[in-house]
Amino acid sequence: MKAICTLFLAAALLRADARYALAYRVKTNPVLTMVAALAGLDRLNSDGEEVLLKDSRVMVRGKKTSVVVNYGSGLMLLIDHQDKTWEQLRIEEMSKRLAADIPDGLIQGLKRLFPGGGGGVAIEVIPERVGLKPEQRTVREFRKKYGLGYLLPAMGSLVRLVPSLDSEVDKLDKSGAELEALRIRVGLGGKLVDGFVEMLNYRESPVEEAEMRPPADYAEVK
């Protein structure tokens, strides 16, 4: 009996889920503000977007749209609460779509802002708060497998605009830092982008499969 109980406990630990909020504040160049709008970011400041974390998936719930990123499969769901529709696509497809939607004028502006693909632009990745509590095991295990996706679900889109940002975050991730808050500055003193994101109200709590899917009455866009 003791062995059976131990097995059930181990299984429960492996299935650990989490809920928390992501608050963020971003100050940026007007050109990048336009790019963010094209990417579907209708606001660059929030007191806390609800986040669900389950296995390899991160869901960010918004009033107008919700996004589910599955780092294990490379798939993502875009859920539109206004039109009551949802769409599934690969993460790289989203990047291609974003690139196709950016007008030529903005592309030229980005090239001027980020000569050489961003390699010549000052990048700072600053841990503002580290040291997750021991009971926050879900985030800790997620970071080991999938990096900082729990704190920066939109990291893929940002990296394609400023490729050198990827290497900076990668260094921080490999250092073993477990972050609750992070600041990213692009340009000297954050002249181009000064962003801050933090995790709030964290709790280990079961997440049902139904919560990670679009509502049943939403229609799929193909």
Of the candidate ranges 47-61, 69-83, 139-153, 157-171, the one whose mean pLDDT is the lowest? 157-171
End-to-end alpha carbon distance in the chain: 50
Q: What is the pLDDT of residue 203?
A: 93
Residue 186, pLDDT above cutoff 60: yes
Residue 33, pLDDT above cutoff 70: no
Residue 128, pLDDT above cutoff 80: yes
* 41 contacts 48 by C-beta, under 8 angstroms: no
| Distances from the Cα of 61 to the Cα of 19, 51, 136, 211, angstroms | 11, 6, 21, 10
Residue 96, pLDDT above cutoff 80: no
* φ and ψ of 121, to 5 deg: -100, 135
175 against 137, higher pLDDT: 137
191 against 222, higher pLDDT: 222
Q: What angle do CA 29, 30, 36 make, to 5 degrees?
A: 90
* 164 contacts 120 by C-beta, under 8 angstroms: no
Percent of the chain clearing pLDDT 90 (strictly above): 26
Q: What is the pLDDT of residue 120?
A: 56
Domain limits of the chain?
A: 22-210
Element (H, E) at 185: strand 179-186
Of the candidate ranges 106-110, 131-135, 204-208, the one whose mean pLDDT is the lowest? 106-110
Q: What is the pLDDT of residue 162?
A: 57
| Distances from the Cα of 171 to the Cα of 89, 138, 165, 177, angstroms | 29, 22, 10, 10
Q: How confident is the model at residue 173 (pLDDT cuts 50, 70, 90)?
A: confident
107 against 194, higher pLDDT: 194
**Residue 38 to residue 102: CA distance in whole angstroms:** 7
**Residue 71 to residue 147: CA distance in whole angstroms:** 10
- Average per-residue pLDDT for the chain: 77
| Distances from the Cα of 95 to the Cα of 38, 80, 89, 92, 214, angstroms | 12, 18, 10, 5, 22
Q: How confident is the model at residue 193 (pLDDT cuts 50, 70, 90)?
A: confident
Mean per-residue pLDDT, 45-73: 90
Residue 112, pLDDT above cutoff 70: no
Residues whose CB is less than 8 angstroms from the CB of residue 63 and which lie 6 or more positions away in sequence, other chains included: 81
Mean per-residue pLDDT, 196-221: 94
Q: What is the pLDDT of residue 12?
A: 46
Q: What is the pLDDT of residue 126?
A: 84
**Residue 79 to residue 68: CA distance in whole angstroms:** 8
